[in-house]
Amino acid sequence: MTLVTTARQEASKRRKPKRMSDNSSMTEAGIDRAALAFSLLPANTAEVVNRRLSVGERMRLREGLARMRDASDARRMTAIRALAQSVQRGLEWPRPSVHDESDCPFNIVVNQPRALIVDMLERIAAREPLEVAVTLCHLPAEPREMLWQAFSAEARSAVLATLDQVHFVSTVRTRSYARDITARLSRERRLSPRSG
């Protein structure tokens, strides 16, 4: 039975493209760190955190807890310290791999009314949070922070879940996102003439 299972796992690994396995291993590493930190929380705090997680996030956390069940106390303490440090530092936005401030196609967002942009990006985040994450990562720090503070908790959660994937977005896909944002802005301005 174990040989069959092992053979299936090996065949499954061969079928997956390399980029996908790199991305999933990075996400898995983040889940494992979260599980290690979560395992040290007092029961009442863990309960509060658990209530704030979506069903999918709970499942990933449970899987991480199962993988990290035999982790040493030192690894758990390292994970909780890393969590505390990242909370103190605040959110770190990944820098897109190919980015030129002078001709960034996302600069169009900066000159628009904040309410219009927030509304539009929140609607996009409901279906395509990675597009919003890429957009925000391309913006200068100050306008990005203003937009981020105006986002709903649901939109923030959706975008945060995709931040680790920003580095894997190709230049072609980034340009596609920029065209989509530009087209949506044009539509928004046509439909709402007073917003411009």
- What pLDDT, on a 0 to 100 scale, did the predictor assign at position 181? 95
> Which domains are seen in the chain, by residue range?
2-89 (no CATH), 101-195 (1.10.220)
Contact 166, 133 (CB under 8 A): yes
**Mean pLDDT computed over every residue of the chain:** 80
Lowest mean pLDDT: which of 33-37, 102-106, 139-143?
102-106
Q: Tell which wins on pLDDT, 179 or 10.
A: 179
Structure tokens belonging to residue 22:
């790199």
- The amino acid occupying position 127 is R
Quick one: which of 22, 53, 119, 41 has its CA closest to 79? Answer: 41
Amino acid 84: pLDDT = 76
pLDDT value for 6: 43
Q: Which residue has the higher pLDDT, 103 or 159?
A: 159
Integer Cα distance of 148 and 1 in angstroms: 51
The pLDDT of residue 182 is 93
Q: How far apart are CA 139 and CA 164, in angstroms?
A: 17
pLDDT at 195 over 80: no
pLDDT tens per residue across span 108-166: 888 899 999 999 999 999 999 999 999 999 998 899 999 999 999 889 988 988 888 88
Q: Which tokens hold the place of 33?
A: 């760190």
Helices (H), 90-170: 114-127, 129-138, 141-150, 153-160
